[in-house]
Amino acid sequence: MERLLLDDENFRLPPQLRGASQDELLRHFAGQYDLEEIAYSMIRKGYFEEEPLLTISVPESEFRIVVEGNRRLATLKLLTDEDVRRLVGGSLWLELAEEVRQTGVELAEVPTRNYATRDELLEYLGFRHVSGLMPWTPEAKARYVHALIVDHNYSFEDAARSIGSRSDAIRRQFIAYRALMQAKAANRDVSAAEGRFGVFYRALQNRSIRAFLGLSGWTDATPETLQPLGEDGPRNLEELSGWLFGPGRVVRDSRQIDDLGKVVADAAATSMLREHSDITLSLQELPPDREAVFVAIRTAFRELARANGLAFEFAGDEQLQAEVARLEPLLDQLREALTGSPRAETQ
């Protein structure tokens, strides 16, 4: 077990832990991945022979890196290695290790399967964690897609086939991730957007937010599109990340993302947002929205038509009659507002 190493290039890892030491990785896995559930399963049933750890050799050494099975490896180390338990601390793993001793379950040797290169495992990882039963986070999926395209020269179509996705979705994920990489290279703090990639990706669905960033390539990028942000894009992306995720974030619900898009499409509303960090106040700076009025009227028409089709069932209902009476002056006011002239008095 001591010759098996956790993978510091694991796509599950947050960016700040890429290249981390084994001790740092163990602390991270113990603190973030609910290894206790895996431990209870191993104590009750042993290690499943059908689930070998998939490894690659470290050149000129006896060590092997576990490319697939890092959570299982971290659990095994905690159950079998006193030094690792001391590193993590707490009493839980001491108790679990004692259960291993009492039950006599064999965990010192587990099945492994070694591969010559990491590339041989690449598409298997995508199948298992992007389209399979053990999903990665949106950020991990995006980093994997990015690695396929940039590091392994996959086309969008090849990447899509390897994980069972669509090439247009792969293109958008790639562009979203490249935008983050470009902003980071410009020394902009977009770590929150990277960590909440799913919400960030949702925000980029909004055309106005993409325009605010000067983002190109959403529908026509190629794998060579590595700088999708406009000149002010890195700065604006840092600002967007703050509005979405920062301590003073203005979007508290994903349904407000489209409101944010309306704000950043208007200079006065954006200025108000920068000054007051209040999206409701900023929306008030926007000019009247004809489309919103049209949609409201059309929605009201559909609902009234539905009520009209059911009303005959409730002939004589005084409460419903009173509700209809409330509509009449409202319709008059709407008509007057749209025609610019008051309704003629009837004699």
Asked if 103 and 137 sit in the same domain, the reply is no
User: 39, 107 in Cβ contact below 8 A?
Assistant: no
Can you give the pLDDT at residue 319? 93
Out of 249, 272, 301, a domain closes at 249
Question: How far is CA 28 from each of CA 6, 31, 136, 197, rounded to the nearest angstrom?
Answer: 11, 5, 16, 20
| Residue 225 banded pLDDT, cuts 50, 70, 90 | very high
Can you give the pLDDT at residue 131? 61
Asked if 78 and 103 sit in the same domain, the reply is yes
Position 132 pLDDT exceeds 70: no
Position 133 pLDDT exceeds 60: no
Range of the domain at 105: 4-116
Over residues 266-292, mean pLDDT: 89
User: If DSSP codes are grouped into helix, strand and coil, which group holds residue 89?
Assistant: coil
Out of 49, 82, 116, a domain closes at 116
Can you give the pLDDT at residue 292? 77
Position 145 pLDDT exceeds 60: yes
Residue 59 domain-assigned (yes or no)? yes
The four Cα atoms 224, 230, 231, 235 give a dihedral, to 10 degrees, of -110
Over residues 26-51, mean pLDDT: 89
| Residue 296 banded pLDDT, cuts 50, 70, 90 | confident
Sign of CA dihedral 43, 49, 51, 54: positive
**Interatomic CA distance for residues 124 and 163, integer angstroms:** 9
Contacts of residue 99, defined as CB under 8 A and 6 or more positions apart, other chains included, come to: 43
Asked if 297 and 226 sit in the same domain, the reply is no
Can you give the pLDDT at residue 66? 94
Phi-psi region of 217 (alpha: psi -120 to 50; beta: other; left: phi over 0): left
**Interatomic CA distance for residues 127 and 153, integer angstroms:** 18
Q: 232-241, 255-264, 296-305: which has the highest mean pLDDT?
A: 232-241
| Residue 302 banded pLDDT, cuts 50, 70, 90 | very high
Residue 269 domain-assigned (yes or no)? no
For 5-20, how does the pLDDT look when each residue is reduced to its tens digit (9 = 90+)? 999 988 888 878 888 9
Q: Which two tokens stand for residue 203?
A: 């925000």
Position 185 pLDDT exceeds 50: yes
Can you give the pLDDT at residue 342? 66
Asked if 243 and 183 sit in the same domain, the reply is yes
Asked if 182 and 200 sit in the same domain, the reply is yes
Residue 186 domain-assigned (yes or no)? yes
Over residues 30-38, mean pLDDT: 88
Asked if 321 and 306 sit in the same domain, the reply is yes
Can you give the pLDDT at residue 347? 42
For the beta carbon of residue 332, count every other beta carbon within 10 angstroms.
12
| Residue 134 banded pLDDT, cuts 50, 70, 90 | low
Question: How far is CA 15 from each of CA 50, 74, 136, 194, 233, rounded to the nearest angstrom?
Answer: 31, 19, 14, 9, 21
Can you give the pLDDT at residue 343? 59
Residue 26 domain-assigned (yes or no)? yes
Asked if 162 and 130 sit in the same domain, the reply is yes
Domain count of the fold of the chain: 3
Residue 275 domain-assigned (yes or no)? no
**Interatomic CA distance for residues 264 and 212, integer angstroms:** 6
Asked if 300 and 317 sit in the same domain, the reply is yes
Out of 56, 85, 116, a domain closes at 116
Asked if 94 and 130 sit in the same domain, the reply is no
Position 346 pLDDT exceeds 80: no
Q: Please, what is the average pLDDT of the chain?
A: 89
User: 8, 25 in Cβ contact below 8 A?
Assistant: yes
Can you give the pLDDT at residue 345? 52
User: If DSSP codes are grouped into helix, strand and coil, which group holds residue 290?
Assistant: helix
Contacts of residue 258, defined as CB under 8 A and 6 or more positions apart, other chains included, come to: 206
Position 254 pLDDT exceeds 90: no
Q: pLDDT exceeding 70 applies to what percent of the chain?
A: 97
